[in-house]
Structure 1
Amino acid sequence: MREVTGEAELRELIGEPTARVAGKVRRELDALDRAWLAATPFLLMATSAADGSCDVSPKGDPAGFTLVLDERTIAVPERPGNRRADGFRNILGNPHVGLIFVIPGRGDTLRINGRARLVREADFFDRMTVEGHRPPLAVLVDIDEVFYHCSKAFLRSALWNPERWQPDAAPSRARIAQGQERQDQDLAELEVYYGPGYGQDLYS
């Protein structure tokens, strides 16, 4: 195994970005970015703790759930989940976050990097209410960088091509749960729990 140990060696392998690619990073949202965020129902939020350990957390809601407060600030609401709060705990120790905003069927993505704060109350919380659920907190992100990422990863993976989907290629969620965190529960019981009715109480 030969390890890459410096940027010069890295550039020897992958080359330099074009001037257009290197210069596409902006510091403020424009009208195109706002339209993308209004159409986005899903994002990935990457955080890192003070010790460098990392986490990536998916966030999803109806399209437009990421609230644009101004050209340098966005807010992401919290919804009921597993309450691990890995990313939130990271933000308390290290505010730097990276977000990728995904629109189903689109290969390109919007990326925003910035510094985050956890907010438990603000006048904009009412605007983030969904199905009667007002978020208990939100991640407020002060934007440092915003840019679009090309679709090559999505094209290589054929992510949006239903003919390439194989949802049964990996063990079911019920089998994974029974083999790991719910070993004391019967598989048949877990298959019912994770069956068609799962997720009917997303906002309760």
Structure 2
Amino acid sequence: METQDWEPIDSADELRELLGTPKPAAIAKERKTLHELDRAWLAASPFCLIATSDTDGNCDVSPKGDPPGFTLILNDSTIAIPERPGNRRADGFHNILRNPHVGLIYFVPGRGDTLRVNGRARLVRKASFFDQMVVKGHRPQLAIVVEIEQIFHHCAKAFLRSELWRPESWNPQALPSRARIAQALERPEDPIEELEHYYGPSYAEGMYR
């Protein structure tokens, strides 16, 4: 890759010179415990992204989703996220075992603002609070318990720029189907008809088992 015309940023001073300093309100909004409005946000959110890294800095971002309120509030500074059946790679979980620091962003469909949580995580395989995380008769396989170190609400500019929630801007047909992507990159020996069936309407039936 040609990089001769790149002008890199190599220091915090250079970065601040380019971006400027944050406004006092942007700094002061950080908290370490849940506010009543944070609790309301978590109760309304069906989806979050969890960022992790191992001790070598290798990163992972994993989506987590369930009915609104899937994140359980254990106390003013601790939350728990249930884990459901997935592809079993467990990249983020392996990272947490090596490095407990995590970053989360909670979404509410149609809202451009988000809730950000940074903290320290641990994995729990069994606890009495699992009874509160049952969905469609299924208990979580494990839970990610996060001790909050930093929490704040984030503005909507990225969502406004991307028009993410504007249905008229959506074009899912611009890309091949999930089945065709799987055949090209992951399962080349499987017939496309079988993959289309696997990723079809019946796919949702296996979400909790």
Q: Is TM more than 0.5 here?
A: yes
Equivalents in 2 of 1:129, 1:8: separation in Å?
49
Q: Are 1:128 and 2:133 an aligned pair?
A: yes
What displacement does 1:59 show? 0.1
Residue aligned with 2:165, SS = coil
Q: Are 1:96 and 2:88 an aligned pair?
A: no
Structure 1 length-normalised TM: 0.98
Stretches of structure 1 lacking an aligned partner (at least 5 in a row): none
What displacement does 1:188 show? 2.2
Q: Which residue of 2 aligns with 1:188?
A: 193
When the two chains are superposed, the root-mean-square deviation of aligned CA atoms in Å is 0.8
What displacement does 1:148 show? 0.3
Pick from 137, 151, 159: which aligns with 1:154?
Answer: 159
Q: Which residue of 2 aligns with 1:169?
A: 174
Equivalents in 1 of 2:59, 2:141: separation in Å?
24
Aligned partner letter, 1:68: I
Report if the CA contact (8 A) 2:115-2:152 is conserved: yes
Q: Which residue of 2 aligns with 1:116?
A: 121
Structure 2 length-normalised TM: 0.96
Pick from 142, 150, 153: which aligns with 1:145?
Answer: 150
| Identical pairs, percent | 64
Stretches of structure 2 lacking an aligned partner (at least 5 in a row): 1-5
Aligned partner letter, 1:35: A
- Give deviations 1:11-45, integer Å, cap 9, x for gaps: 11111110011111000001100000000000000
* Higher fraction of helix: 2
Equivalents in 2 of 1:113, 1:100: separation in Å?
9
What displacement does 1:145 show? 0.2
Equivalences for residues 7-46 of structure 1 within 5 A: 7-46=12-51
Q: Which runs of 4+ in 1 moved over 2 A?
A: none
Comparing 64-73 with 185-194, greater Cα deviation is found at 185-194
Equivalents in 1 of 2:150, 2:173: separation in Å?
38
What displacement does 1:196 show? 2.4
Residue aligned with 1:81, SS = coil
